[in-house]
Structure 1
Amino acid sequence: MATHVITGAGSGIGAAVARRLHARGDDLVLFARNAGRAKELAAEFPGASTVVGDLAEPERLSWAFSHQTLPDRVDTLLHIAGVADLGSVGELTPKIWQAQLNANLVSPAEITRHLLPQLRVSQGQVLFVNSGAGLAAHADWSAYAASKHGLKALADSLRHEEKPNGVRVTSVYPGRTASPMQAKIHQQEGREYDAARWIDPESVATTILMAIDLPRDAEVNDLTVRPGKP
């Protein structure tokens, strides 16, 4: 039975992945931003463990971990949580920049740092859910895209560093996916949101499970998933 540490299990792609792994009987360790959210996740996924840590404050994660018990074994670390705030370079404040860099880049690096010893022992896998914005930046997406371009660099560097230890590293780049975050993005863009136009989170979850279940003689480095509808 594998043990999976997941951020972002509360909604969207993260929830879809957590449901699939929970249904097949794997052990889940779910990140929550506060104790109240941890209680909700524990109720939604009976038997799962929770770790409380606010991705908005990566500098406090080490302290938070020191007051909790991290899992002894980690087979996969799934970075799925993320935040997005759009705006032009001329409008975005340092606070908005920092919030996206913290949640989308610095916190994944910090969580990975703390769990690498367990991943090395299990010869496990780190999977980053990136974004199409991590491959190409467009107008009004600078801060989010910068955080995701940075996440790609983190994954690529980690892959080279940890290959001798048997740790696999995968980046998944979904296009627009039906989720609460996508609804928020449409609101910021001033557009009507129609979930049926975009990728179902379950479809992205299918690609993620394929990557982590792949036999050990191969690894998926980068996987792009695009909406199938015109």
Structure 2
Amino acid sequence: MTAIPVALITGASRGIGRAIADELAATHHLLLGGRDAAALAEVASSLPSAEPFAAELRDADQVAAAVAGVDRLDVLIHSAGILRMGPVAELSDDAWRESFEVNLFAVASLTRELLPALRAAGGQVITINSGSGFSSGASSAIYSGTKFALRAFTDALREEERQYGVRVSSIHPGRVATDMQEELHAWEGRQYSAEAWIRPDQVAKAVRLAVDATRESTIETLTIRPSGISLG
């Protein structure tokens, strides 16, 4: 009897991460990554086969303790992240450090810890990047900087891990209707309408496409953009 594949999803308690959990729930045992153990337990209780993977990903000891309980891993999905915006002239060193720690360093650290399990399973690494991983503009230097770097990380990892049978995908959604998007609109001083932006479940379907790619193929990079079509 073939064991059910295991997927670890960071940022799984809300937004895109939660949508990915819902999408994969029917076919995978899920390790739900995040900092709030109670919130993760609540999500896990609503899914067929899931458990919390509670850890502050910037804390090496917490990550090591959480990873020690992972016996098998078929898919690692990096969905956790933070959004910081502002002019370069006003951004503090702490803001830069925090953004890179969450959006890049934590991704690299968790991936490194889990590569032995992923290699053993012939698994996959999937990062939720952004359209900001391809272009930047006024007030987006700090966020785009982390996402450009994340794209470089996934490109390098993909080439390094081919010999071990690990496939690496980078998903680049444009603006998605999440709490983060609502907060961004408030910062920009613009009215927010969720209907104008990509639904989280659509990003989850893109992840499903990458997960379901057969062994001879890889969804290396996939970009999803808002259509701009009025739904009113």
Where on the TM-score scale, by shorter chain, does this alignment land: which range? over 0.9
In 1, distance between residues paired with 2:37 and 2:198? 31
Contact 2:154/2:169 (8 A) holds in 1: yes
Task: Tell me how far apart the structure 1 counterparts of residues 52 and 117 of structure 2 sit (CA, whole Å).
Answer: 17
> CA 1:102/1:44 → structure 2, altered by over 3 Å: closer, same or farther?
farther
What TM-score results when the alignment is normalised by the length of structure 1?
0.93
Any idea what SS the aligned residue of 2:90 has?
coil
**Cα displacement (A) at 1:46:** 5.4
Identify the residue that residue 155 of structure 2 maps to in structure 1.
156
- 1:167 and 1:67 map into 2 onto residues whose CA distance is 24
Separation in structure 2 between the aligned mates of residue 226 and residue 35 of structure 1, nearest angstrom: 33
- In the alignment, structure 1 residue 53 sits paired with structure 2 residue 55: yes
Shift of 1:25: 4.0
Q: Name stretches of at least 5 consecutive residues in structure 2 with no aligned partner.
A: none
Partner of 2:62: 64
Is 1:34–1:54's contact at 8 Å kept on the other side of the alignment?
no
Give the alignment of 1:72-83 within 5 angstroms: 72-83=71-82
Equivalent-residue separation in structure 1 for 2:41 and 2:126 (angstroms): 25
- Cα distance in structure 2, aligned partners of 1:133 and 1:72: 35
Alignment equivalent of 1:39, drawn from 38, 41, 51: 41
Aligned twin of 1:20: 23
Q: Determine which of 5, 9, 28 is the counterpart of 2:8.
A: 5
* Residues 70-105 of structure 1, C-alpha deviations (whole Å, 9 max, x = no match): 321111000011110110001111111111111111
The structural deviation recorded for 1:40 is 3.1
CA contact (8 A) 1:135 1:149 kept: yes
Letter in 2 for 1:142: A
Check whether the contact 2:56–2:63 (CA below 8 A) recurs between aligned residues. Answer: no
Q: Is the 8 A contact 2:13 2:40 kept in 1?
A: no
Q: Distance in 2 between matches of 1:65 and 1:201?
A: 27
Question: TM-score w.r.t. structure 2 length?
Answer: 0.92
Structure 2 CA distance, aligned partners of 1:14 and 1:172? Answer: 13
Q: Compare 75-84 and 45-54 and name the one that shifted more.
A: 45-54
Partners of 1:149 and 1:134 in 2: CA distance: 4
Q: Deviations over 1:33-91 (max 9, x none)?
A: 14333333333435412222113xx2x23x11343443211110000111101100011
Return 5+ residue gaps in structure 1 as ranges: none
Aligned length: 225
Distance apart, 1:12 and its partner CA: 1.6
SS of equivalent residue, structure 1 residue 29: strand
Kindly state the Cα deviation for residue 18 of structure 1 after the two structures are TM-superposed: 0.2
Q: Is the CA contact 1:51–1:70 (under 8 Å) kept in the aligned structure 2? A: no
**Aligned to 1:191, what secondary structure does the other structure show?**
coil
| Structure 1 SS opposite 2:182 | helix
* Aligned residue type for 1:45: L
Letter in 1 for 2:45: A
